[in-house]
Amino acid sequence: MGFESKKDELRAQVTKARDQLVSWLLEAAYPLWSTRGVDMINGGFHESLTLQGNPTDAARRGRVQPRQIFAFSKAHRLGWKGNAFDPVSHGVSYFLTRYRRPDGLFRTLVAPDGAPLDHRAVLYDQAFALLSFAVAGQVLGPSFDIKGEADKLRSAVDREFHRAAAGFNSHIPPVMPLQSNPHMHLFEASLEWLRGTGLPVWRVWADEIGELALKHFIDASTGALRESFDDTWTPMSGVVGRIVEPGHQFEWAWLLLNWNGPWREDARKAAIRLIEVGETYGIRNGLAVNALLDDFSVHDGAARLWVQTERLRAAAIAARLMGDEKYWQMTRDSAAGLMRYFEVKVPGIWYDLISASGDPIEGPVPAGNLYHIVGAIEELMTLLKR
């Protein structure tokens, strides 16, 4: 088969996968999660559903409400004809009412009825609040002062979490380890706000976190991204400091390419290497596994759904920006891996975990995965628009 014929075949395969995923999202997932996933009695979104599509009584984490706000804020852009305003408005009202602390930060956990269960504020949750605010305004218009809410939260994060040296503490009061993961989502939120507003304050945060990733989070000798650090940004001792998560290799690659990667050589090279690490060492039985160690041996061979979405998102942006056949193949293969999680009886529901032996694990269906699914499908749609 000639080169052009192979490219045409790959594009056709990726297009077919895109159509399947978009159909599932618009015809099954959004209708189900906009009804059964919304708590019309207590407010907000259910933390999880059962595999039969019924709400659970799980406590509600501060990160999941903004994730659902984000997912529904993207719905019309992705082609859903349903009512996105109501779940977004419903979610924002509940989040602002039930999670906000007197200092302007958001607590980490409430009961299903909205009663506070854990008053602590962690950076990870604040990052998702900022991310959801960045897109919710496009749906809500003047009905909420979303920009004002984001400005207040950004100031509170700057005051309470920003370190004197570099980066942000993961918790307040500060405790070790410092973590790259909440920085990743603060990076994502900053880039989303920067795209929407162009305001320099978001560029400052994005550049600080991007530089921190290139200098400290990514191991200069292997090109792999680490998770846990001491207060000098040196990887923690022991196993915790050796963890390398394939999903985060892919997620950081996507962010670096969105940041300055297309024209900044060091960011682009770092992103390509992160994809290479995840794809070379982190794939087993067609799925990206949960965790490796720094010698690239498998630490956790099970495979969560969100890891597959980040593999797809990284593959799609790499295929779009660089055009290499291998990234188109990776896009096709990661889409096929993701669709394995949707092989359940109730349309719009998914398995959260597939074991190392390839067997789906039955359990609660986390609502927060919809954020990951929406992000991957959006990037796949962007690839094929071009």
pLDDT tens digit sequence for 78-97: 999 999 999 999 999 999 99
CATH number for 328: 1.50.10.10
Residue 348 lies in a domain: yes
Q: Answer yes or no: is pLDDT of 252 > 80.
A: yes
For residues 100-120, average pLDDT: 97
Report the run of H or E that residue 182 belongs to, with start and end. helix 180-197
For residues 316-338, average pLDDT: 97
Residue 175 lies in a domain: no
Residue 326 lies in a domain: yes
What is the pLDDT, as a whole number, of residue 1? 56
* pTM beyond cutoff 0.95: yes
**Domain limits at 311?**
1-33+244-386
Query: Which long-range contacts (C-beta less than 8 Å, at least 24 apart) are formed by 21-24?
Result: 21/335, 21/338, 21/339, 21/376, 21/377, 21/380, 22/78, 22/79, 22/377, 22/381, 24/339, 24/342, 24/347, 24/348
Q: How far is CA 153 from the centre of its chain?
A: 20
What is the pLDDT, as a whole number, of residue 165? 86
Residue 91 lies in a domain: no
Residue 359 lies in a domain: yes
Residue 12 lies in a domain: yes
Q: Answer yes or no: is pLDDT of 386 > 90.
A: no
Residue 53 lies in a domain: no
Contact present, 75 and 84 (Cβ < 8 Å): yes
How many structural domains comprise the chain? 1
What is the pLDDT, as a whole number, of residue 7? 84
Confidence of residue 99 (pLDDT cuts 50, 70, 90): very high
What is the pLDDT, as a whole number, of residue 262? 72
Contact present, 312 and 338 (Cβ < 8 Å): yes
Residue 288 lies in a domain: yes
pLDDT tens digit sequence for 5-20: 788 999 999 999 999 9
Q: What percent of the chain has pLDDT over 90?
A: 96
| Mean of pLDDT over the chain | 96
